[in-house]
Amino acid sequence: MADIRIKFCGVDFDNPFILPSGIITEIPEHKRAIDNGVGGVTLKSLTFEKREGNPLPRVWKFDCGMINSVGLRNAGIEKGSDEIKTFLDENKGIPIIVSLFATKIKEFLLLVEKIVPLKPHFIELNLSCPNVDDEFGKSLGMEKGAAGEIVRAVKKISGKVPVLAKLSPNVNDITDIAKSCESEGANGIVAINTVGPGMIIDLTKKKPILGAKKGGVSGPAILPVAVRCVYEIYDAVKIPVIGMGGVTKWQDVVEMIMAGATLVGVGTATYLKGMKIYSQLKQELNEYLQKENIKNLKELVGVAHNLS
Ligand SMILES: Cc1cc2nc3c(=O)[nH]c(=O)nc-3n(C[C@H](O)[C@H](O)[C@H](O)COP(=O)(O)O)c2cc1C
């Protein structure tokens, strides 16, 4: 057997597979991924105020992926932090990433203040949500100055909890933003959030399918964009990267790791293939490593850069 355990920011993961934020909405339900052998779990992004989310339908499958405009449906900080505390207490054996979203630095800080005492393994700053634009204007962290400012402010109060910056691919140069986050103290980068926004038209109703009309695209359609982003970020920064976006097969996992991902998020694929995908990918990754005579997964991280 090859060793697929891996360290990320000093935290031990049993395997490199992560449940990305928002794939499951209700906090207690995230346990389903753990029961299916995932290496780490990112909780649904939490906002200060409770959010009902966008009008239905919010999620739609198409031939090569999914489009969603959930609009950050969540319980808000008061109820949400209680639920997160319970979840952390009940699932101590596995790294848990708490994802936060805000539209003002002050609000990010209020969220971080509330979450740090709960001692999650990581805080992830969602600097990239595409589904709240209409309400708030462009997401706060999609510009390098703002992204860096948020990270700097958060790092002042995050204590020992490592801070990850989750980036959007829908920008001119993702490496500029990654570098800015790194220089302000981010401990890792998560790439990518959904691509777009996109739109699908319902031919019968002759109008856009999603209640919010447009939404972020995820799943197999976005894999090459995600791999390119991870590759460029790996070149641009020294902090480790969680790669995600369209991973559904073991070949995609290997590609993502070769591009530079230490951990790999598998989200939309759980809608397409079920939660059992985590145990299947673990087995197939192991078989690949054995066949290639690679004893330890970390040897594979970033190898696509060696030959270029
Ligand atoms: C239904 C749905 C809801 C999502 N909600 C969030 C969210 O709350 N916060 C966030 O940072 N990303 C959210 N995402 C983006 C995912 O975490 C991930 O970055 C993206 O889907 C790409 O990975 P995938 O192709 O494996 O799903 C959501 C994605 C989907 C499909």
Burial class (CB in 10 A: 0-12, 13-18, 19+), 109: middle
Is 6-305 a domain of CATH 3.20.20.70?
Answer: yes
Asked if 229 contacts 259 with a C-beta cutoff of 8 angstroms, the reply is no
What is the model's pLDDT at position 176? 95
Amino acid at site 251: Q
The predicted-structure confidence for 208-229, as pLDDT tens digits, reads as follows 999 999 999 999 999 999 999 9
Q: Is 129 an annotated catalytic residue?
A: yes
Distance CA 40, CA 19 (A): 6
Cβ of 116 closer than 6 Å to ligand 1, yes or no, is no
- Is residue 136's pLDDT more than 50? no
- Name the catalytic one among 9, 64, 129, 229: 129
Average pLDDT, the chain: 93
Cβ of 245 closer than 6 Å to ligand 1, yes or no, is yes
What separation in Å is there between the alpha carbon of 129 and the centre of ligand 1? 9
Distance CA 303, CA 307 (A): 8
On whether 245 is known to bind a ligand per the annotation, the reply is yes
Q: What is the mean pLDDT of residues 94-112?
A: 94
Cβ of 45 closer than 6 Å to ligand 1, yes or no, is yes
Q: Which of 64, 268, 275, 277 to mutate to test the pocket of ligand 1 (most atoms within 8 A of CB)?
A: 268
Q: What is the mean pLDDT of residues 115-133?
A: 85
Please tell me which residue, 79 or 259, carries the higher pLDDT value: 259
Cβ of 170 closer than 6 Å to ligand 1, yes or no, is no
What is the model's pLDDT at position 198? 96
pLDDT tier, 135 (very low <50, low <70, confident <90, very high otherwise): very low
What is the model's pLDDT at position 51? 83
What is the model's pLDDT at position 52? 83
- Mode of pairing for the β-strands spanning 207-208 and 201-202: antiparallel
> Quick one: which of 256, 245, 239 has its CA closest to 304?
256
What separation in Å is there between the alpha carbon of 30 and the centre of ligand 1? 14
The predicted-structure confidence for 231-280, as pLDDT tens digits, reads as follows 999 999 999 999 999 999 999 999 999 999 999 999 999 999 999 999 99
Q: Which of 42, 68, 194, 278 to mutate to test the pocket of ligand 1 (most atoms within 8 A of CB)?
A: 194
pLDDT tier, 2 (very low <50, low <70, confident <90, very high otherwise): confident
Residue ranges covered by each domain of the chain:
6-305
Q: Which residues of 86-103 are buried (b: 16+ CB within 10 A; e: fewer)?
A: ebbeeeeeebbbbbbbbb
The predicted-structure confidence for 150-202, as pLDDT tens digits, reads as follows 999 999 999 999 999 999 999 999 999 999 999 999 999 999 999 999 999 99
Count of Cβ atoms closer than 10 Å to residue 154 Cβ? 25
Comparing 45-54, 227-236, 298-307, the range with the smallest average pLDDT is 45-54
What is the model's pLDDT at position 70? 77
Comparing 48-62, 120-134, 175-189, the range with the smallest average pLDDT is 120-134
3-state secondary structure of 258: helix
Comparing 65-69, 87-91, 128-132, 155-159, the range with the smallest average pLDDT is 128-132
Protein residue with its CA nearest to atom 10 in ligand 1: 21
Cβ of 210 closer than 6 Å to ligand 1, yes or no, is no
